[in-house]
Structure 1
Amino acid sequence: MFSRKPNASQSESFSKTRRSSRSAKSSFREHAVSKNRTRRPPTDDTPSPASTLTASIITLVVGREQRLFAAHEDVLCHSPFFQAACRGQFMGASNKRISLPDEEPEIFSSVLEYLYKGDYYPRLVHNKRRNSWELETGDGGSGSPESTVYHHGVDGELLKDTVIYCTAQKYGLEELKRVSLRKQGLQSGIQCSTILSSARYAYANTPDTDSKLRAHYLALIIRSRGTFKRSGTMQLEMQAGGSQLFFDLFVALCNHVDDVASIASSPRSLRHH
């Protein structure tokens, strides 16, 4: 099921085909949001197109490079975080500007795309023939869309959907958390080192009461235990220590072994008696 990454000494990889460009095909663009952009169908919580036409435009300064984004105030205010910001907690009343120096522009672009469209690239698409959900692959091409993003906070790459989940946690966007969690379950071809660094990031940026993302990583590591055992990456991580991740992983593995032992010891059928 899994294969070694060629010419890698300590980091094995799940086999994958990667996109040649990270964001060239993204359906959302930085700097400006058109007032006529197609948006999600209105709901009880979604402002009507008429109200959006008269809504204030907020400028957002994102990341260390201070890249500029713009969005309608009523759209941003779907997030409790931005509701507070638009009331003046983080923003001067005159210039309508919010500074987000710790965010990654690529992640914030996806969050903003979700606020306008109800999803972010790559979108979830329903395969009617298989009756299953899949990630779009672009203009009819093959291969998985880019799944990692550089994050200055860890000086390396993390799973994009994990960072989006944690950002949604901070912004109070529960549905975005559900969307990003579902997408993570559809990803493949991620290196062991990236999985572990993303798991550490998830633990550091979610409360103990929010167990869904953490459980996703515990299950992923257990399913991929053969690859992790061969790679040596897990050994280095555990020697570094200092994370709740490894105790939770120990408990999850014990529960898995108990389940297997219980099934093995239970009577299978009376037909052999």
Structure 2
Amino acid sequence: MFARRTHHNESFGKHYNSSFDKHRAGKATSSKQKRSFREAAAAVKKVDRLKKPDHNSPPSGSILTSPIITICVGPEKRLFAAHEDVLSHSSFFAAICRGQFLETATKRVSLPEELPEIFSSVLEYLYKGDYYPRLLHNKRRNTWELEETESNSRDNAESTVFHQGAGQVLLKDTMLYCAADRYGLDDLKRLALRKQGLQSGIQCCTILASARYAYANTPDNDSKLRAHYLALIIRSRSTFKRSGTMQMEMEKGGMMFFDLFVAICNHMDDMASTKSPLFTKSPRTPH
């Protein structure tokens, strides 16, 4: 899974806005044309339903009449606007919209600690059920993939976000998972975790920094994202072992590396209990 790169750091392996063109049709001059238009419209609606995830967000194109909430995000106070009934799919925002913290005169919410790039994706998910780049199902292979984008490049610019507070580049999906946990969006957590499992070409320093962020921003009883990082490091241990970043991170210590030690011990115990060839004494055992 891992591959050497020509950059200073090592990295592992390689890997929404979609819109329909609007057309105007002239008045049909025959019943056959009218029927064809109706059939085409029905087909588009059917495809649209199939592409939508199982999510409670309002259907695309529906008329939203609830009040508009203004959200002021980050230290630069970037402004976002969203409908109250859309925001209320989040338990966090539902409580705010009930008036606990909302400035009733202006309908404004302040999120000074949030990153605009992350909140933008949260809003995109609330309205569309996904965020850029979308998760697509490959029917031929029966696998899930991330959509190809024109901006896909070797540095995976779309998959990372610079966190000014941490002073490091972090994986966007990890930050979205943590944001979804804060906002009470369990479906978004599952989506972010699945997308992160499809990411590749990420440098070791970014992986380790993101793992630390995950540990700092998820509760101890939420082990899914943490387990993802532990399994990734163990599975790609040869690359991390060669990484100078890994040594520096381990010297900092913390709960993540204790969990990593326990996970490695459990992994070795499992291999021994199944009489893996790694533990046999035969000189012909492949290494």
TM-score (norm 2): 0.78
- Stretches of structure 1 that go unaligned for 5 or more consecutive residues are 18-25, 29-37, 267-273
3-state SS of paired residue (1:146) = helix
Correspondence for 1:170 among 167, 182, 192: 182
Which range moved further: 228-237 or 256-265? 256-265
Residue 261 of structure 2 aligns with which residue?
A: 250
Alignment of 1:24-43 (within 5 A): 27=17
Query: 1:14 maps to what in 2?
Result: 12
Look up the equivalent residue of 1:215 and give its one-letter code.
A
Give the SS at the match of 1:90.
coil
Any idea what SS the aligned residue of 1:150 has? strand
Gaps of 5+ in 2: 19-47, 278-287
1:127 aligns with 2:125: no
Report if aligned partners of 2:53, 2:129 keep a CA contact under 8 Å in 1. no
**Displacement after TM superposition at 1:231 (Å):** 1.1
**TM-score, structure 1 length as denominator?**
0.82
1:46-87 CA-partner distances (Å, limit 9, x unpaired): 557898532100111111111111000000000111011112
- Aligned alpha-carbon RMSD (Å): 2.8
Q: In 1, are the aligned partners of 2:159 and 2:173 still within 8 Å (CA)?
A: yes
Distance in 2 of aligned mates of 1:140 and 1:212? 30
SS of structure 2 residue aligned to 1:98 = strand
* Contact kept? 2:57, 2:127, Cα under 8 Å: no
> 1:70 maps to which residue?
81
Alignment equivalent of 1:153, drawn from 165, 178, 202: 165
Amino acid at match of 1:14: F
The one-character-per-residue Cα deviations of 1:138-179 (angstroms, maximum 9, x if unpaired) are 259787672111112211110000000000000000000000
Distance 1:265 1:181 in 2: 30
Kindly tell me the number of residue pairs found equivalent between the two proteins: 247
Match among 196, 216, 231 for residue 208 of structure 2: 196
SS of 1:133's partner is strand
Tell me the percent identity: 67
Larger radius of gyration between Structure 1 and Structure 2: 2
- 1:131–1:142 distance in 2 versus 1, CA, 3 Å: farther
